[in-house]
């Protein structure tokens, strides 16, 4: 329980020491015009001397704002969200805000419960990537109607009228597919997972468009769904797929599928890129030193987080930003490496 509490110094303490009213302390510290220059200095000095730190909860209660935001994301296992958080933090820190972090583990129930809690006024705004299986969006709507601004990044919810920071999923999948076709692939499979319709459908769309443009008919059997967890089972699923469908190119649409794909190929004694070429959506720096170096679609994770935070804080600061009009797409980059090298 540990309650040492070294006689906390608060405004009352300062007021007593300086023989002025509490209001004077408060106003002096907030640099109000009401207070004389000399008094202000005395207050600031004594506050520093006594290590006064304002109680955020009293302040939040009175002001009805918390200088705190929530970051709600599915997980933090991979490099995308790590980098996005870094981007967010770069703004949060600078703005003297505080960030609460919540992981939904892609569970709708947890997400809904978190939103329920947030309707208490705990945060001034929310930055979020929605859970994979979130279909009912009432919880999000309710928080928004309660006046809490929300900015989506990456895994956006199209039906909520607010700012959305995305990457060009359609186009980057299109480019990845086109790249594989140009490297000679004729039978390209798309490895995907359940959920995240706004993203994965776009990627599927870009994939199909590239195929169509190259007069390749896209077949249902080429689209394969894995579990959204890194596990052995996915390797088996993929091996099964590869042996039956025999693709000569694979696009792995999420980070952890890179390792899965490589291991599946290895177990099947398939050579990348000779027998099969691989592209993956991933931000991992190790892509360059894989066996072989992996061609990746690199997403602007840091920038997405940063941009989302900028919009939210701009809005909170009262700048004339209409969140519902902000729909920003930042480009991903196709980084070509040996895993898709043309074989002749």
Interface residue list for a second copy (CB under 8 A): 1-6, 8, 51, 53-58, 60-61, 66, 68, 71, 75-78, 81-83, 85-86, 89, 93, 98-103, 110, 116-117, 119-122, 145-147, 149, 230, 256, 258-259, 262-263, 266, 284-293, 315-316, 318
Whole-angstrom Cα distance, residue 261 to residue 221? 17
The residues near 182 (Cβ < 8 Å, ≥ 6 apart) are none
Q: Should residue 146 be labelled a site residue for DNA when binding is judged by CB under 7 A?
A: no
Are the C-beta atoms of 224 and 238 separated by less than 8 Å? yes
The stretch near DNA (CB under 7 A) out of 36-44, 98-106, 137-145, 201-209 is 36-44
Whole-angstrom Cα distance, residue 118 to residue 167? 27
Please return the burial class of 58, using the count of CB atoms within 10 Å of its CB with bins 0-12, 13-18 and 19+: exposed
51, 62, 138, 217: which one binds DNA (CB under 7 A) = 62
Q: How far is the CB of 182 from a second copy (least distance, A)?
A: 24
Q: How far is the CB of 214 from a second copy (least distance, A)?
A: 29
Nearest to 248 by CA among 338, 143, 134, 343: 343
The stretch near DNA (CB under 7 A) out of 61-69, 76-84, 323-331, 335-343 is 61-69
Kindly write out the interface string for residues 5-24 of this chain, putting x where it contacts DNA by CB under 7 A and - elsewhere.
---x-xxx------xxxxxx
- What number of CA atoms fall less than 13 Å from residue 95's CA on the CB side? 22
Q: Tokens standing for 313?
A: 């804080």
Q: Should residue 66 be labelled a site residue for DNA when binding is judged by CB under 7 A?
A: no
Q: Which does 245 bind (CB under 5 to 8 A by kind): DNA, a second copy, none?
A: none
Are the C-beta atoms of 248 and 187 separated by less than 8 Å? yes
Chain residues binding DNA by CB under 7 A are 8, 10-12, 19-27, 29-30, 33-39, 52, 54-55, 58-59, 61-64
């Amino acid at each position: 329980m540990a309650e040492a509490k070294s006689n906390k110094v608060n405004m009352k303490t300062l007021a007593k020491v300086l023989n002025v009213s509490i209001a004077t302390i408060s106003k002096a510290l907030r640099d109000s015009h009401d207070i004389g220059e000399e008094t202000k200095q005395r207050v600031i000095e004594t506050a520093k001397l006594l290590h006064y730190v304002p109680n955020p909860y009293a302040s939040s209660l009175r002001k009805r704002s918390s200088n705190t935001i929530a970051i709600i994301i599915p997980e933090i296992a991979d490099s995308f969200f790590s980098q996005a958080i870094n981007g967010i933090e770069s703004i949060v820190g600078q703005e003297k805000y505080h960030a609460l972090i919540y992981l939904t583990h892609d569970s709708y129930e947890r997400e809904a419960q978190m939103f329920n809690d947030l309707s208490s006024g705990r945060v001034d705004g929310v930055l979020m990537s929605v859970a994979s299986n979130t279909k009912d969006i009432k919880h999000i709507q309710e928080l928004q109607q309660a006046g809490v601004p929300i900015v989506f990044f990456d895994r956006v919810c199209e039906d909520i009228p607010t700012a959305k920071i995305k990457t060009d999923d359609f186009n980057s999948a299109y480019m990845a597919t086109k790249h594989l076709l140009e490297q000679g692939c004729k039978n390209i499979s798309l490895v995907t997972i359940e959920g995240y319709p706004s993203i994965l459908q776009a990627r599927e769309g870009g994939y199909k468009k590239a195929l169509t443009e190259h007069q390749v008919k896209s077949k249902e059997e080429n689209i394969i769904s894995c579990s959204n967890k890194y596990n052995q089972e996915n390797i088996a699923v993929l091996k099964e797929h590869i042996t039956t469908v025999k693709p000569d190119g694979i696009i792995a649409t999420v980070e952890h599928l890179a390792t899965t794909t490589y291991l599946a190929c290895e177990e099947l004694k398939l050579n990348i890129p000779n027998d099969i070429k691989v592209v993956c959506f991933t931000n991992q720096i190790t892509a360059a030193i894989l066996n072989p170096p992996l061609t990746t679609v690199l997403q602007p994770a840091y920038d997405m987080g940063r941009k989302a935070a900028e919009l939210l804080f701009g809005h909170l600061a009262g700048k004339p930003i209409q969140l519902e009009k902000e729909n920003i797409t930042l480009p991903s980059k196709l980084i070509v490496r040996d895993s898709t090298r043309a074989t002749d």
